[in-house]
Amino acid sequence: MNKGQSGAWIGPRPTVGQIAAMVFVGTIGILIPGLQPIVLGALLAQRHITLSQLGATASVELLSMGLAAALGAALLPRRRLRAIGVAASLVLALGNYLTPLASGAAITGLRALTGAAGGILIGVTACMIARSAAPERWAGIYLSVQTLAQFILAAVMTAWIEPSRAVHGDFGMLAIAGLVCAVVSLALPAAFQVLPASGTGTIVMPPLRGLAALACVFLVLMFIVSIWVYYDPIAREAGLSSHISDTAVYVSLAFQVLGGTFATLCAGRLRWFPVFVVSAAVDLVMIGLLGTHPSALLFLFDAAVFGFIWLFILPFLVPMTIDADPTRRSAVLISGVGLLGSSLGPSMVGLIISPENTQGALWLGAACLLCSLAIATALRYLRPRALQT
């Protein structure tokens, strides 16, 4: 058994309260990816942004979030975590508060700011997961908690906030969440243990196999978000109402919670590669179903299965990455790299779709999924010497 899977924490084990705080701040930091179809749809409906700006805004926010999460996990000082958490939370709250007051390019700039603040908070949680005794289990717990929070907010946004007040109500809730996060950040640990062979304050590149695993993570998230962000236009092309597309979002989020919970329960019992292959096969079927312009019932069924597989497969990318790079230098970058993939997908889709034809989102998603499957297969069956420098 390698060091990355030794079953021991790297550094002192945090207290229960500190672990809860780290999971909480990461959950608030990553709320927006699950809510983008709703909040960006509200901005679009009230003409704060155009359809072309929707994809750009989604991409810019996720790009800044991914860069901040990756660079934060690699470069942030291991001390003063509480001050960093409080500052990032306040910036997140401010950006969300100001968004309903802006339009056009100003919204894109504000979402970039909030994305960066959220990414720093995500980096804190990613550092904890990479240092934990059971990274795949903590990844599953984190994914389940974050998705449950997204589900609750999505349900409130769609059921209790009037459409005419959706923009102010949606972003007002996100601003309040940022303020609560600032308070919780005071319970973070004072510092993290430096990872083996990672140095202090400098980036040490992962080995080639680790980079290949991160490329796989990148493509998986690019596939998912390329389709997820455009659920509303896909539903409209199928002749479905915005109510159905909004319902599909929180149905998907509910099943994401189930998928993440099931993955947590299966941690240590299932191997990552069979999970990857089966999940990819199911997702390809779901992509095909969306391409048939399904009825409302089938659209909701597709959203449920898509959501379940989304959160079920992600925790198993952690042991895949640790197998490829036992030092865990690659593992701390998973969240950031995944968000970078998430950011690229919507912008590429925005170049190839129109309100009358959303098939490009499905084709791009399928291509990314197949490429990720090819990389995962290579990691599984090629001997390490063939991929190491």
Rounded distance between C-alpha atoms, residue 222 and residue 235, angstroms: 20
What pLDDT, on a 0 to 100 scale, did the predictor assign at position 295? 92
- The confidence score (pLDDT) of residue 171 equals 94
Nearest to 43 by CA among 56, 24, 26: 56
Reduce the secondary structure of 205-224 to three states and give it as a string: CCCHHHHHHHHHHHHHHHHH
Residue 186 forms part of a structural domain: yes
Does 114 reside within a domain? yes
d(CA 39, CA 161) in angstroms, rounded, equals 12
Counting Cα atoms < 13 Å in the Cβ hemisphere of 282 gives 18
In a domain, 338, yes or no: yes
> Are the CB atoms for 263 and 311 separated by under 8 Å?
yes
Give residue 201's pLDDT: 47
Q: Do the domain assignments include residue 212?
A: yes
User: Would you state the pLDDT for residue 1?
Assistant: 39
Q: What is the pLDDT of residue 384?
A: 62
Residue 49 falls inside a structural domain: yes
**Cα torsion through 342, 346, 349, 353, rounded to 10:** 150
Q: What is the pLDDT of residue 195?
A: 65
Range of the structural domain that residue 43 is part of:
12-387
Q: Which of 165, 154, 52, 53 is nearest to 100 (CA)?
A: 165
Q: Tell me whether residue 23 is in a domain.
A: yes
Q: What is the pLDDT of residue 2?
A: 42
Give the amino acid at 244: I
Contact 145, 23 (CB under 8 A): yes
Contacts (Cβ under 8 Å, ≥6 apart) of 94 = 175, 178
**CA-wise closest residue to 111 among 60, 77, 159, 74:** 60
Give domain status of residue 3, yes or no.
no
What does the block give as tokens for 282?
A: 């199911």
**Structurally, how many domains does the chain consist of?**
1
pLDDT tens sequence for the chain (389 residues): 344 444 677 777 889 999 999 999 999 999 998 788 788 888 888 888 887 788 788 888 988 998 898 887 767 666 788 999 999 999 999 999 999 999 888 999 999 999 999 999 998 898 888 788 788 788 888 888 888 898 888 888 877 777 778 889 999 999 999 999 999 999 999 877 776 654 444 556 778 899 999 999 999 999 998 888 788 888 888 888 878 887 888 788 889 889 988 988 887 788 999 999 999 999 999 999 999 999 999 999 999 999 999 989 988 998 899 888 887 778 878 888 888 888 888 778 877 877 678 888 899 999 999 999 999 999 998 866 544 44
CATH number of 157's domain: 1.20.1250.20
